[in-house]
């Protein structure tokens, strides 16, 4: 224990990645759990009269070491994992699950919390303290603290199994993504691919010590191939590999895992007094209940599905004019849609790459946040990192005060999960006069540099970076007292507002002129190209909406079951997504078995939140459009009421304080060109 860096005071308060070895995790996590358990027992056994201070606050601040160690371990298990890390996760998961269940089912502790809760009207608490008290009380009451012992034991067993299943699900998806690749040795198989994709494929082959080119299921490889590769049979092969991940007849099959997860979530919800898992989850969201979510998804489907069908018909006719003789299949869509977009708007997203050099994009986003909030960034080469790709910055406010440590991890690798996300190693809070500043990380899978070029992003990758940076701002600018309410610790359908809000600047020429210059010539991105980006932005917006709705409907179906699922999972998924299905179902494909958001992440019964937050951000961004995209007064208001507040006030109240009214779906329909009068 003495020499375990995870149990020592961190040098300069930063995670000592350079000192951590796999052997340190398990003993550190065990010791941190023991320390946290002792802290909680001290609160529960306190003989003083229960108060907000000695019960609610102390509980919020307990387990600091466990929070630090577990955040390091579980973040790296997604960003830089290996078989040993995955085994440690399986070993430690029951320990941590039991620890949190021990807290929830500690009768003395809940009695103290209940006493404070019953006196809440007379305690003269601040708004933030009221939110912490409510969140603490509900976290116990909603999760079984009032149940008889035998039912608590059932919940314990279910929670442990769910934790284990989620880990297995994640490991299987990662293995399926990493294990498959398409090895090409004939140049004609590269027909249609842009040079950037060819160079990346050659690098991938070199990394595998192969001749020729390699296409992988990582997004920077998969997406350009589906969009540009001329050979239809190869597109089909790659599509099928991607859409059968964890659904093949091998040891990584997730079929039984997802049905077991869904059935266990239902069983747990029933034990807790809810009709479905969706009812349980949505009680603590802006939406409140499944009926409202389903109505919301239905309204969007009514607006988008007819337009998406017309888009599909138009693309089919266009493909036929190009000599295509068959019916469009999913592996044809991106290919012909891209050709149609190029024809309609004379716009090829690949031509934007030279203007979105990653280094300049990063500097541009830094400049944007400086313009809006006065933030500045200083690279911190002295801060340890977990991989050579990772960059670290110290972030300061306009007065030069330290705000946050920011880690940036941009490129795909075998130890990293797919996708992009923001996370933190430490939340912002205040304790005993000590200001604890956050340590935030943005993790992506962007186009890697090649021997010929630096990292050049597509416009879509650029907006992905903006999106995750919006989440990072939510964490870095947090200004609350309690870690439980800090940063992104908000309702799931509110958390995407800052991230999707920042995406709006992606098409603003005034912003692009700050950084978008050709990496070779230094020429600014042409006005004509920006106009084409803007015109093309809503191209097939209805199709994109329908795709998101299909995921949301699938999520709601899995978590709205009232009886255990016994039917075939492919049949179940087909039925769930049928209302917005545009293509004929491809037998043998399955998205649920790799749907990490809901089976290995925190979005179960919450995937609708992406579209919900789009309503919020479309309405909120109007405030900037009305007063100027760099307007400091508007930016200051957004920071004050959204970015700084975390979960310290109800989200709708915060939105109204910023916008002056509740959000309207009209702003989103107008932005996406889906209003009835636009059709």
Helix axes 149-179, 83-104, angle to 10 degrees: 160
Listed in sequence order, the residues at least 6 apart from 396 whose beta carbon sits closer than 8 Å to its beta carbon are 375, 376, 377, 378, 402, 403
**Ordered DSSP codes for 146-198:** TS-HHHHHHHHHHHHHHHHHHHHHHHHHHHHHHH-EEEE--GGGGTT--HHHH
Q: CA–CA separation, 434 vs 475, rounded Å? A: 18
Which residue in this structure is represented by tokens 């995750």?
Answer: 468
Q: CA–CA separation, 356 vs 447, rounded Å? A: 11
468 is known as an active-site residue: yes
Apex CA 310: angle with CA 305 and CA 313, to 5°? 125
Considering the candidates 39, 468, 614, 649, report the single residue annotated as catalytic: 468
Residue in 355, 333, 351, 360 with CA at minimum distance from that of residue 195: 351
Phi, psi at residue 252, to the nearest 5°? -100, 15
Residue in 77, 19, 65 with CA at minimum distance from that of residue 383: 19
**Ordered DSSP codes for 58-127:** HHHH--HHHHHHHHHHHHHHHHS--HHHHHHHHHHHHHHHHHHHHHHT-HHHHHHHHHHHHTGGGS---H
Dihedral of alpha carbons 333, 339, 342, 343, sign = negative
Decide: 129 and 645 in contact? Cβ < 8 Å. no
Q: CA–CA separation, 679 vs 35, rounded Å? A: 61
List b or e across 488-501, with b for residues whose CB sees 16 or more CB atoms inside 10 angstroms: bbbbbbbbbbbbbb
How crowded is the C-beta side of 283, counted as CA atoms within 13 Å?
16
Q: Which two tokens stand for residue 175?
A: 């293995």
What string of H, E and C letters represents the secondary structure of 229-280? CCCHHHHHHHHHHHCCCCCCCCCCCCHHHHHHHHHHHHHHHHHCCCCCHHHH
Listed in sequence order, the residues at least 6 apart from 231 whose beta carbon sits closer than 8 Å to its beta carbon are 188, 189, 191, 192
Apex CA 23: angle with CA 18 and CA 29, to 5°? 95
Catalytic residue IDs: 468
């Amino acid at each position: 224990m003495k020499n375990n860096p995870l149990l020592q005071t961190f040098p300069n308060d930063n995670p000592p990645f350079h000192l951590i070895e796999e052997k340190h995790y398990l003993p550190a996590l065990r010791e941190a759990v023991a320390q946290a358990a002792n802290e909680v027992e001290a609160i529960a056994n306190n003989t003083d009269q229960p108060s907000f201070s000695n019960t609610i606050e102390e509980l919020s601040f307990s387990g600091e070491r466990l929070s630090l160690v577990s955040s390091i371990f579980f973040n790296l298990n997604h960003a830089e994992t290996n078989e040993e890390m995955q085994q440690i996760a399986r070993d430690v998961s029951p320990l941590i699950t039991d620890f949190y269940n021990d807290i929830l089912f500690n009768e003395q502790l809940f009695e103290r919390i209940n006493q404070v809760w019953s006196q809440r009207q007379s305690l003269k608490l601040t708004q933030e303290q009221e939110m912490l008290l409510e969140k603490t009380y509900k976290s116990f009451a909603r999760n079984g603290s009032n149940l008889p012992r035998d039912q608590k034991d059932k919940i314990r067993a279910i929670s442990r199994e769910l934790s284990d299943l989620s880990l297995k699900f994640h490991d299987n998806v990662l293995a399926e993504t990493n294990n498959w690749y398409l090895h090409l040795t004939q140049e004609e198989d590269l027909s249609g691919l842009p040079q950037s994709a060819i160079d990346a494929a050659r690098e991938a082959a070199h990394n595998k010590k192969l001749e020729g080119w390699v296409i992988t299921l990582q997004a920077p490889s998969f997406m350009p191939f589906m969009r540009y590769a001329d050979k239809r049979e190869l597109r089909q092969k790659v599509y099928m590999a991607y859409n059968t991940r964890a659904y093949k007849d091998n040891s990584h099959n997730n079929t039984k895992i997802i049905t077991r997860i869904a059935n266990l979530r239902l069983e747990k919800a029933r034990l807790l007094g809810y009709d479905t898992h969706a009812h349980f989850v949505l009680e603590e969201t802006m939406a409140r209940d499944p009926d409202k979510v389903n109505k919301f998804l239905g309204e969007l489907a009514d607006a988008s599905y007819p337009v998406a069908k017309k888009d599909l018909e138009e693309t089919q006719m266009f493909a036929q004019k190009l000599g295509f003789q068959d019916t469009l299949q999913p592996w044809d869509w991106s290919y012909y849609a891209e050709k149609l977009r190029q024809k309609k708007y004379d716009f090829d997203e690949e031509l934007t790459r030279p203007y979105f050099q990653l280094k300049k994009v990063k500097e541009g986003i830094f400049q944007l946040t400086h313009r809006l909030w006065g933030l500045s960034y200083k690279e911190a080469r002295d801060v340890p990192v977990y991989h050579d790709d990772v960059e670290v910055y110290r972030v300061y406010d306009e007065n030069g005060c330290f705000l946050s440590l920011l880690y940036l991890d941009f490129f795909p690798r075998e130890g990293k999960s797919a996708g992009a996300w923001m996370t933190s190693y430490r939340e912002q809070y205040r304790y005993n006069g000590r200001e604890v500043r956050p340590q935030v990380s943005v993790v992506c899978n962007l186009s890697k540099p090649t021997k010929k070029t630096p990292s050049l992003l597509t416009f879509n990758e650029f907006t992905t970076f903006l999106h995750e940076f919006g989440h990072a701002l939510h964490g870095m600018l947090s200004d609350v007292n309690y870690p439980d309410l800090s940063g992104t610790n908000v309702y799931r359908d509110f958390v995407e507002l800052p991230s999707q809000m920042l995406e709006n600047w992606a098409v603003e020429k005034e912003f692009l002129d700050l950084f978008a210059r050709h990496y070779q010539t230094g020429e600014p991105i042409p006005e004509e190209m920006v106009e084409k980006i803007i015109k093309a932005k809503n191209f097939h917006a209805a199709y994109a909406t329908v795709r998101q709705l299909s995921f949301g409907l699938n999520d709601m179906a899995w978590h709205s079951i009232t009886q255990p699922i016994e039917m075939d999972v492919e049949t179940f998924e087909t039925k769930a997504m049928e209302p917005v299905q545009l293509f004929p179902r491809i037998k043998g494909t399955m998205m649920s078995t790799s749907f990490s958001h809901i089976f290995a992440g925190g979005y179960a019964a919450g995937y609708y939140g992406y579209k919900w937050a789009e309503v919020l951000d479309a309405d909120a961004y109007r405030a900037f459009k009305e007063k100027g995209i760099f307007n400091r007064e508007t930016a200051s208001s957004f920071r004050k009421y959204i970015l700084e507040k975390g979960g310290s006030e109800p989200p709708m109240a915060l939105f109204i304080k910023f916008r002056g009214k509740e959000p309207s779906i009209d702003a989103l329909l107008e932005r996406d060109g889906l209003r009835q009068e636009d059709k």
